[in-house]
């Protein structure tokens, strides 16, 4: 199991990496200040949604992981699902914590802190 300090270090590294990408690449790309390799041209939800769904399919990938785990032996599949989904959940919670920092206090989810 990861220690709390390692968990905080992982969150800090993730937050730093995402903040840098957002501020130094994605936002300038959206504004037309630079041309980066993203599947969208602007912040238009129509264009963004098309790019997001074309290139990122988290729900499908989770279903595929579960499908493959069902093809493993019962014990291995159980162990794999537990470990894999724990990792996915940890990452999603870290992203929620980071997103919480970027919204006004009244819009935050209290359970994910600031």
114 residues of the chain, pLDDT tens digit each = 556 667 788 899 999 999 999 999 888 888 889 888 877 766 666 555 656 666 667 888 899 999 999 999 999 999 999 999 999 999 999 999 999 999 999 999 988 776
Is 73 buried (19+), middle (13-18) or exposed (0-12) by CB count in 10 A? exposed
Residue 55's contacts (CB-CB under 8 Å, 6 or more residues apart) are: 39
Q: CA–CA separation, 17 vs 26, rounded Å?
A: 12
Q: Is 100:113 a contact under the CB 8 Å cutoff?
A: yes
What is this structure's pTM?
0.74
Query: Are the C-beta atoms of 4 and 88 separated by less than 8 Å?
Result: no
């Amino acid at each position: 199991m990861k220690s709390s300090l390692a968990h905080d270090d992982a969150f800090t590294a993730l937050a730093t990496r995402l903040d840098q990408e957002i501020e130094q690449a994605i936002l300038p790309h959206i504004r037309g200040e630079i041309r980066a390799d993203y599947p969208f041209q602007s912040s238009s939800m129509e264009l963004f949604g098309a790019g997001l769904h074309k290139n990122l399919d988290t729900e499908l990938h989770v279903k595929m992981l579960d499908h493959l785990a069902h093809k493993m032996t019962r014990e291995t599949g159980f162990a794999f699902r537990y470990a894999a989904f724990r990792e996915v959940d940890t990452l999603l919670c870290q992203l929620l914590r980071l997103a919480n920092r970027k919204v006004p206090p009244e819009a935050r989810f209290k359970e994910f802190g600031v």
